[in-house]
Amino acid sequence: MSGAALLPFEFRPNPNPATDAERAAILADPGFGKTFTDHMVTIKWTEGVGWHSATVEPFGPIPMSPATAVLHYAQEIFEGMKAYNAADGSITMFRPEANARRFIESAHRMAMPELPEELFVESLRQLVRTDRAWIPSGEGSLYLRPFMFASEAFLGVRPAKEFLYCVIASPAGAYFKSGPKPISVYVSEEYTRAAPGGTGAAKCGGNYATSLLPQAQAIEQGCEQVVFLDAVHRKYVDELGGMNVFFVYGLDRTIVTPELGTILPGITRDAIFALARDFGYEVVERAYSIDEWRADAADGSLTEAFACGTAAVMTPIGMAKSVNGDIEVGGGKAGEVTMRLRQALLDIQHGAAEDTHGWITRIQ
């Protein structure tokens, strides 16, 4: 690791950490995103100075001016990843350098400073080592949320001159307690999430803000998730609010997924390419229309569909509801290819299978 990009980290221990009993009660049923560990990482960026003041400090409120730029113009990006208690007793992460590179890409699109890859990975290592007692064992993991926002107090419209980068951590249980249940998705004909030239490929909070209304409509329609169509033709499948989507043609041994451009380049998506090829499936990235989805589900050539992302890993899609008629996939059941890929990915992530693709970083 090149030392140039690294800063010294100051350590300010939490004077009031959770007791062993409190932590054990949380880890017994952590849910998702509800509780946080004792510490967080902060690193500041100032124009003319660069990155400075890297600190591991007690998890707690961030004081800020009401004029802080992010509160007005949403200059903010984030990442999501997990740390695992591996089967051999070590602590691991799944492809953290890929998250680091994507964080740089997101920063570029949002006119924010680029956090060097090594500093990003080191910030995760610092927090996970400090709060290692918070990593659930078994199927759980410690969800890590790096994020960065414009912290300058200024109402003028231009890229900020001060930013704050933070990492917080939250214990996460097995996402599905009794195996993944197929979800229904609602095809939004009214709203889109990203247009060409927009911010669809950046992991920014603003993309999520605009997905909340269509997501609420999906829930109203009795679905778990919204699926967006492209903004130009309003017919090609983009992705869900926070997950990429795949279509399995079991008889052809082919897996189709929308090409990059307006969608978020998922790291789970990328890992599935490699695992699917290991299993002898061809992976095709191309525009995939809702009409194709409908016709191929009806004639049975489309055998499975699934969504993927770090938080839920892989989720079968049993049904797509749309104003033009519902689409049932694979009899509404979790597909065999989906479940095999999912297990293979989970086994690598949790250290139960050999890491043949070099995806695992040992951090302790």
Query: Which spans of this chain sit near ligand PLP (rule: CB under 6 A)?
Result: 80, 203, 207, 239, 242-244, 264, 266-269, 309-310
Residue 253 or 357 with smaller CB distance to ligand PLP: 357
The type of residue at 44 is K
CB of 197 to ligand PLP, least distance (A): 17
The type of residue at 265 is P
The DSSP-derived string for 79-128 is --EEEEE-TTS-EEEE-HHHHHHHHHHHHHHTT-PPPPHHHHHHHHHHHH
Residue 154 or 208 with smaller CB distance to ligand PLP: 208
CB of 245 to ligand PLP, least distance (A): 9
CB of 194 to ligand PLP, least distance (A): 9
* Three-class DSSP category at 286: coil
| Non-local CB neighbours of 61 within 8 Å, separated by 6+ positions | none
Nearest to 107 by CA among 96, 94, 120, 126: 120
Dist. CA 214–CA 232, nearest whole Å:
18
Burial 153-169 (b: 16+ CB within 10 A, else e): ebeeeeebbbbbbbbbb
Residue 164 or 243 with smaller CB distance to ligand PLP: 243
**Residue 179, class by beta-carbon neighbours within 10 Å (0-12 exposed, 13-18 middle, 19+ buried)?**
exposed
Output the CA angle 207-175-60, nearest 5 degrees. 65
Residue 41 or 264 with smaller CB distance to ligand PLP: 264
Dist. CA 17–CA 100, nearest whole Å:
29
Dist. CA 114–CA 55, nearest whole Å:
18
Pairing of strands 183-188, 81-85: unpaired
Q: Could you say which of 82, 177, 181, 203 is catalytic? A: 203
Whether 226 contacts 239, CB under 8 Å: no
Residue 202 or 337 with smaller CB distance to ligand PLP: 202
Q: Which helix (H) or strand (E) holds 344?
A: helix 336-349
Residue 68 or 141 with smaller CB distance to ligand PLP: 141
Look-up of token digits 């509800």: 34
Residue 39 or 95 with smaller CB distance to ligand PLP: 95
CB of 91 to ligand PLP, least distance (A): 20
CB of 59 to ligand PLP, least distance (A): 23
* Three-class DSSP category at 132: helix
- CB atoms < 10 A from the CB of 265, how many? 17
CB of 269 to ligand PLP, least distance (A): 6
CB of 15 to ligand PLP, least distance (A): 34
State yes or no: is 161 an active-site residue.
no
- Mind telling me the catalytic residues? 203
